[in-house]
């Protein structure tokens, strides 16, 4: 894959139109169409579904688009670091974004590893002039000399040595991306396991999963109920490919990526005949002396820790808290007048009933985000297609 092919693919993926993409990057439509078709053929990937009315990314194309954007961003950082190492300033005019040329990088890596243009050409099944041309083109695009050339030998420059270490990692990552992309293309035997929480997106999630199944009909989707306390552990352990969790402090743990799917706010939930139920709004200070209800820590996990921190911050009697084994039990206790729960308004859509009232809380710091989370490393390549659905919710 060369830079021209990749730039063409990225432009069409961004515009979802060959004519608009051609105008955007200064090519003719036949040329950009040829570049994309050549890329698909050389990689063995179907990146676009084309018809007379529209162009859309296939599940493979959607995954490849996201990964190539990431690699291009990493490559820009590598180039900047290479130029700093050599003592020069930024010298590359990448236009709308510096586009990596995998073919050039593969040739450079082969030469750097063998310390010989001849040996590198033999291993890459290229002529010596051919591989030399690719390396020289790379050096020109970087504005840096990567090799010191002598009569009978070559050696990496300081910038070239630092660049070579990073190129190796990038090429390994690129090979992994191709393997995953081809796996999406075949789809046979592929599984996506989704962990879900009580009361979160229970109305929207079935439709999202159904839309994904229609886009990837050969992929088997499995769902698994996971408690909040164990959701992140299940993601880390690979028991599920993605799952849902609240981020009370807007921070996800290390090695976890996330995408916000729902923003909500905490409310005070109580029975309709509770003395405070007639209020339009409350402050947390008004709950002093009240019995509070929460999930047990073995189920609620981060939510219970947040509840205890909230009690300490606002001087609420945490010792008066009663802990329920699950949401239905907690809302049953609320309806019976046993106490007040501080919960996201979203949860009431699943468990609320006419005997329960939600009163707004005026205090700051009571916003909560629900995210869909997945592993940073080793994530399922089918995830980008599934996650695309959340942008339409």
> Please, which pLDDT band fits residue 98 given cuts at 50, 70 and 90?
low
Q: How far is CA 327 from the centre of its chain?
A: 29
In this structure, what DSSP letter does residue 112 have? H
Position 212 scores a pLDDT of 82
Which helix (H) or strand (E) covers residue 321, if one does? Answer: none
Q: Is residue 98 helix, strand or coil?
A: coil
325 CB contacts (<8 Å, ≥6 apart)? 295, 296, 299
The answer to whether residue 95 scores a pLDDT higher than 70 is: no
Q: What are phi and psi of 276, to 5 degrees?
A: -90, -5
Q: What is the mean pLDDT of the chain?
A: 85
Beta strands in 197-255 (DSSP E): 220-225, 243-247
Query: What residues contact 373, with CB distance under 8 A and at least 6 apart?
Result: 231, 232, 235, 242, 243, 244, 245, 252, 256, 257, 258
Burial 250-289 (b: 16+ CB within 10 A, else e): eebeeebbbeebbebebbbbbbeebeebeeeebebebbee
Q: Which of 345, 328, 341 is nearest to 291 (CA)?
A: 341
189 phi/psi in degrees, rounded to 5 = 75, 5
| 87 vs 382, residue with greater confidence | 382
Going by pLDDT thresholds of 50, 70 and 90, the confidence category of residue 338 is very high
Residue 365 has pLDDT above 50, yes or no: yes
pLDDT value of residue 376: 84
For domain 191-255+375-392, give the CATH number.
3.40.190.10
How sure is the predictor about 92, in pLDDT bands with cuts at 50, 70 and 90? very low
Residues 357-369 as b/e (b if ≥16 CB within 10 A, e otherwise) read bbbebeeeebebb
Contact 273, 337 (CB under 8 A): yes
Which helix (H) or strand (E) covers residue 113, if one does?
helix 102-114
Average pLDDT value for residue range 188-197: 82
Own/partner contacts of 164-170, CB < 8 Å, gap of 24 or more, are 164/108, 164/109, 164/112, 166/78, 166/81, 167/78, 167/105, 167/108, 167/109, 167/112, 168/109, 170/71, 170/74, 170/75, 170/78, 170/100, 170/105
- The residue with greater pLDDT, 248 or 155, is 155
pLDDT for 6: 93
Q: pLDDT tens across 224-242, in order?
A: 999 888 998 899 888 999 9
Q: Which fold would CATH assign to domain 261-369?
A: D-Maltodextrin-Binding Protein; domain 2 (3.40.190)
User: Helix, strand, coil % (nearest 5) of the chain?
Assistant: 50, 20, 30
Fold agreement between 3-185 and 191-255+375-392: no
What confidence category does residue 251 fall into, taking pLDDT thresholds of 50, 70 and 90?
Answer: low
Q: Are 139 and 156 in contact (CB under 8 A)?
A: no
What integer pLDDT is reported at residue 96 of this predicted model?
Answer: 43
CB 96 within 8 A of CB 102: no
- SS3 label, residue 155: strand
pLDDT value at residue 283: 94
What's the confidence (pLDDT) of residue 335? 92
Determine which of 84-88, 127-131, 172-176, 196-200 has the lowest per-residue pLDDT on average.
84-88
What pLDDT does 160 receive? 86
Query: In this structure, are residues 268 and 282 in contact, taking their beta carbons and an 8 Å threshold?
Result: yes
Which residues are CB-contacts of 241 (< 8 A; sequence separation ≥ 6)?
A: 192, 193, 194, 374, 379, 380, 382, 383
Predicted pLDDT of residue 90 = 45
Lowest mean pLDDT among 98-107, 133-142, 374-383: 374-383
In this predicted structure, the answer to whether residue 161 has a pLDDT above a threshold of 90 is no
Task: DSSP letter for 253, please.
Answer: P
Asked which of 9-23, 208-222, 307-321 is least confident by mean pLDDT, the reply is 208-222
Distances (CA, A) of 365 to 102, 264, 265, 284, 362: 47, 12, 9, 11, 10
Helix (H) or strand (E) holding 154: strand 154-156
- Which of 98-126 are b and which e, b meaning 16 or more Cβ less than 10 Å from the residue's Cβ? bbbbbbbbbbbbbbbebeebeebbeebeb
Q: Inform me whether the pLDDT recorded for 249 exceeds 70.
A: no
Q: Which CATH architecture has domain 3-185?
A: Orthogonal Bundle (1.10)
Residues of the chain with pLDDT > 70: what percent? 93
- The whole-model pTM stands at 0.57
More confident residue, 144 or 265: 265
What residues does each domain of the chain span?
3-185, 191-255+375-392, 261-369
> In this predicted model, what pLDDT tens digit does every residue of 274-331 receive, in sequence order?
999 999 999 999 999 999 999 998 888 888 888 999 899 999 988 889 999 999 999 9
Of the candidates 388, 359, 361, 360, which has an alpha carbon nearest to the alpha carbon of residue 372? 388
């Amino acid at each position: 894959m060369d830079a021209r092919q990749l730039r063409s693919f990225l432009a069409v993926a961004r515009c979802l139109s060959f004519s608009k993409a051609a105008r955007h990057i200064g090519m003719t439509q036949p040329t950009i169409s040829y570049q994309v078709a050549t890329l698909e053929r050389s990689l063995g990937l179907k990146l676009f579904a084309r018809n007379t009315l529209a162009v859309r990314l296939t599940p493979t194309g959607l995954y490849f688009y996201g990964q190539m954007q990431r690699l291009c961003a990493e490559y820009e950082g590598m180039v900047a670091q290479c130029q700093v190492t050599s003592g020069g300033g930024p010298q590359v005019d990448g236009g709308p974004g510096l586009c990596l040329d995998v073919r050039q990088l593969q040739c450079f890596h082969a030469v750097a590893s063998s310390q010989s243009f001849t040996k590198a050409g033999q291993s890459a099944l290229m002529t010596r002039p051919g591989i030399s041309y690719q390396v020289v083109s790379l050096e020109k695009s970087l504005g840096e000399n990567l090799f010191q050339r002598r009569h009978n030998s070559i050696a990496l420059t300081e910038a070239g040595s630092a660049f070579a270490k990073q190129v190796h990692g990038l090429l390994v990552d690129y090979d992994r991306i191709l393997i995953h992309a081809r796996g999406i293309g075949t789809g046979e035997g592929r599984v996506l396991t989704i962990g879900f929480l009580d009361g979160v997106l229970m109305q929207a999630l079935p439709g999202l999963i159904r839309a994904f199944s229609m886009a990837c009909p050969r992929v088997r989707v499995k769902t698994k109920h996971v408690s909040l306390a164990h959701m992140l552990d299940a993601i880390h352990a690979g028991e599920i490919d993605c799952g849902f969790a609240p981020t009370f402090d807007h921070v996800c743990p290390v090695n976890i990526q996330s995408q916000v799917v729902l923003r909500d706010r905490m409310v005070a939930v109580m029975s309709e005949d509770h003395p405070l139920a007639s209020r339009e709004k409350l402050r947390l200070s008004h709950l002093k002396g009240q019995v509070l209800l929460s999930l047990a820590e073995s189920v609620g996990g981060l939510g219970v820790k947040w509840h205890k921190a909230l009690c300490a911050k606002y001087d609420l009697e945490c010792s008066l808290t009663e802990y329920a084994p699950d949401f239905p039990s907690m809302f049953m206790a609320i309806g019976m007048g046993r106490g007040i729960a501080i919960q996201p308004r979203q949860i009431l859509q699943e468990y609320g009933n006419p005997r329960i009232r939600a009163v707004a809380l005026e205090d700051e710091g009571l916003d909560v985000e629900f995210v869909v989370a997945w592993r940073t490393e080793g994530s399922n390549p089918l995830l980008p297609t599934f996650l695309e659905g959340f942008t339409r919710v």
